[in-house]
Amino acid sequence: MESEKIVDIRKKFMREWLLIAVDEMDKATTKPISGRLLAHSPNPQEIIHKSLNPYKGLMFIDYSERQLPKMDFSFRHAQKSTAA
């Protein structure tokens, strides 16, 4: 896959999480400038899972939109009732 500007990668995917391999960074701000898309998904957990795969190099997770989606990060849905 070819290296692209990060802003161009974001424009291709609406409301999706992106896993990007960094090819170029702004040395003054340490902000990624260009990279290669490794994975994309509307589900952030899928991207986190894919980011755990071994990769030689710098990668980061980004969201394609300016504003993050509202998400429930609580664990209430995973808890089981202990009532008898």
For residue range 36-78, list pLDDT tens digits in order: 999 999 999 999 999 998 888 999 999 999 888 887 665 554 4
State residue 73's pLDDT score. Answer: 60
Where would I find the beta strands (DSSP E) of 4-64? 4-5, 17-26, 31-41, 59-63
Closest to 55 (Cα-Cα) out of 19, 11, 12: 19
For residue range 26-47, list pLDDT tens digits in order: 999 999 999 999 999 999 999 9
Evaluate if pTM is beyond 0.85.
Answer: no
State residue 9's pLDDT score. Answer: 96
Q: In terms of DSSP H, where are the helices of the chain? A: 6-12, 44-51
